Amino acid sequence: MRYSARVFALTLAVAIPTGALAQQPLDFRAAQTAMNASPAGTAAADAEVRAAEHQAEAVAHLYRPTVTASASLIAYEKTLGLDLSGSKMRVESEIDSYLASLSGQFPPAFASIVEAVTGRIGAAVPGLLSAIPDRYDYTARDTIVRPNLTAVMPLYTGGALEAVRDAANAQVVLAMGVRDVARQADTVRLAQVYFGAQLADVLAGSAQQTLQSAERHLNNARAMEREGVIARSVTLQAIVARDAAQRAVERAERDREMARLALVRLTRRPAQELATPLFVNPAPVPESEATSGSNGQALLTRGAEQAAAASERLARSTTRPTAYAFGSVSASPQQSMPVDPDWVVGVTVRVPLMTAVNRRELVAAAVARRQAARLRAEQTDDRVAGEVESSRLLVENARRAFLSMDSSLAAAAENLRVNEIAFREGEGTAAQVTDAQTALALAQTQRATAAYEYDVALAALLAISGSPGRFADFAEDPARLTIP
């Protein structure tokens, strides 16, 4: 018998889909993780931050030399012409002078012999030189592969390269600001949708309780009508109240389905039970949490200031000289053309004298933009401080409203119970029961709405303060008050 029970349990476990066993209620922290990973989250903003960081790293070392290896396939033809007539005349003159000086270098006894030899040589020189043309033309034609190694290194750019680097770093800050603003907005939106679904559940449950109360009241009215205690009109009033409660339940169910659908679309997770209820922290939010920190707006204004400063630095560089060192070496000198050097090194200095752009006005415009960015940063700081204070007051008002409703809710529930008993005893009226039902439903709705307003206002406060991730910690605080 025990063996059969175990086999049946194992078969049942295998038959149940794995997803049904593994699916767990969705808490707010998991919903936030799912939203961030979905296209509706900050995945695109994260990619923009990574792109800006890579771009900044790419231009972080602009003063390093740029070394380029190149190879050129060159076919060329070069014609050289050389005039030899002057050289021939100079050679003939030099030979004649030399031969004339020989007679004085030998004894008189050999004078006749020396004159005979020099005469023959002098007579033969013009003939020998005539074999050499007066002009020599040479044509060189070849196809070569010329490999080169070239290096260029900036020495001074007047601040232009530093401005490019600062502008890239400013883009990183701006991308981080955009991402943080998106995360802050997403946290508030998720709080609205997630706890909106919880609020819809609570309101649907409250509507169902009102319907059950209306059903009890209608049953009591019908029983009392059969006994002749009340008139038919009282029963009809109870029927009208019950039908209104039924319509309220149907409307609450539609609202709940719409709220769940909005959460599914936001998190890209299938519909499932929600684990984090509507909550209110009994203690006020600490002052350290309600201060304007490094939020996305502050990053945006700081990035704008850095970009404006880089723009000013770049504008000022247009009025300053620049200097570059360069060098080039042939990797295969034997493949070079005759007019090409084997290597070249040098320094180039450029001094701007006149341009089509008024550089003074360009600098003045950059200075004005930097001043505007600084003023906007101050305005943003003031606005964020005001938003933080407003959000803190909204949180505190919602917290106090929630805490003050416990007695009202208990009184409304007791009032309904007393009026139902009074109606059954024939001492109360149907209108009193209906009013008591409405009062209880209203108290339940107001209490749930106060908790919802607290949760959304708290999410907004933490987002503006620059710590939206802290919201889940408040939602999981063991001391929190919840609405089941």
Q: Are residues 163 and 260 in the same domain?
A: yes
Give the separation between CA 12 and CA 4, rounded to whole angstroms.
Answer: 12
416 token code pair: 């309904």
Is 92 domain-assigned?
A: yes
Q: What is the pLDDT along the chain (484 residues), one digit of tens a residue?
A: 344 444 333 333 333 344 443 468 899 999 988 888 776 667 788 889 999 999 999 999 988 999 999 888 888 777 777 777 777 777 777 777 766 776 666 677 666 776 777 777 767 767 666 767 777 777 777 787 888 899 999 999 999 999 999 999 999 999 998 888 888 888 899 999 999 999 999 889 888 888 888 888 788 888 888 888 778 888 888 889 889 889 988 998 999 999 999 999 888 888 788 999 999 999 998 877 656 555 788 888 889 999 999 999 999 998 899 999 989 888 776 666 666 777 889 999 999 888 888 889 989 999 999 999 999 988 888 888 888 888 899 999 999 999 988 778 788 888 878 887 887 777 777 677 777 877 887 888 888 999 999 999 999 999 888 888 889 899 999 999 998 7
pLDDT at 73: 83
pLDDT at 446: 87
Q: Are residues 92 and 218 in the same domain?
A: no
Q: Are residues 93 and 174 in the same domain?
A: no
Residue 482: CB atoms within 10 Å: 12
Q: Are residues 112 and 198 in the same domain?
A: no
Domain final position from 145, 165, 191: 145
Q: Are residues 260 and 311 in the same domain?
A: yes
Give the separation between CA 300 and CA 388, rounded to whole angstroms.
Answer: 17
Phi-psi region of 154 (alpha: psi -120 to 50; beta: other; left: phi over 0): beta
Is 17 domain-assigned?
A: no
Asked if 256 and 204 touch (Cβ cutoff 8 Å), the reply is yes
Q: Are residues 163 and 299 in the same domain?
A: yes
Is 4 domain-assigned?
A: no
Q: Are residues 43 and 130 in the same domain?
A: no
Closest CA to 453 of 271, 222, 199: 199
Is 419 domain-assigned?
A: yes
pTM passes above 0.75: no
Q: Are residues 272 and 411 in the same domain?
A: yes
204 token code pair: 């649907």
Looking at residue 97, its amino acid is S
Give the separation between CA 49 and CA 234, rounded to whole angstroms.
Answer: 69
Is 12 domain-assigned?
A: no
Q: Are residues 479 and 409 in the same domain?
A: yes
Domain final position from 113, 145, 177: 145
SS3 assignment, position 392: helix
Is 13 domain-assigned?
A: no
Q: Are residues 174 and 300 in the same domain?
A: yes
Q: For residue 73, what are the contacts with CB-CB under 8 A and spacing of at least 6?
A: 143, 144, 145, 146
Q: For residue 245, what are the contacts with CB-CB under 8 A and spacing of at least 6?
A: 207, 210, 211, 213, 214, 437
Q: How many structural domains is the chain composed of?
A: 2
474 token code pair: 């408040």
Give the separation between CA 318 and CA 349, rounded to whole angstroms.
Answer: 14
Is 151 domain-assigned?
A: no
Residue 337: CB atoms within 10 Å: 12
**Domain range enclosing 100:** 77-145
pLDDT at 110: 65
Q: Are residues 301 and 202 in the same domain?
A: yes
Is 366 domain-assigned?
A: yes
| DSSP output for 277-306 | -EEE-SSPPPTTTSS--S-HHHHHHHHHHH
Closest CA to 437 of 229, 204, 201, 216: 216
Give the separation between CA 321 and CA 76, rounded to whole angstroms.
Answer: 39
Give the separation between CA 342 and CA 173, rounded to whole angstroms.
Answer: 48
Q: Are residues 197 and 98 in the same domain?
A: no
What's 283's domain CATH number?
A: 1.20.1600.10
Domain final position from 145, 169, 187: 145
Cβ burial, residue 242 (10 Å; 0-12/13-18/19+): buried
Closest CA to 173 of 66, 53, 325: 53
Q: For residue 238, what are the contacts with CB-CB under 8 A and spacing of at least 6?
A: 214, 217, 218, 220, 221, 222, 430
Give the separation between CA 246 and CA 432, rounded to whole angstroms.
Answer: 19
Give the separation between CA 462 and CA 207, rounded to whole angstroms.
Answer: 33
pLDDT at 224: 82
Closest CA to 459 of 26, 31, 24: 31
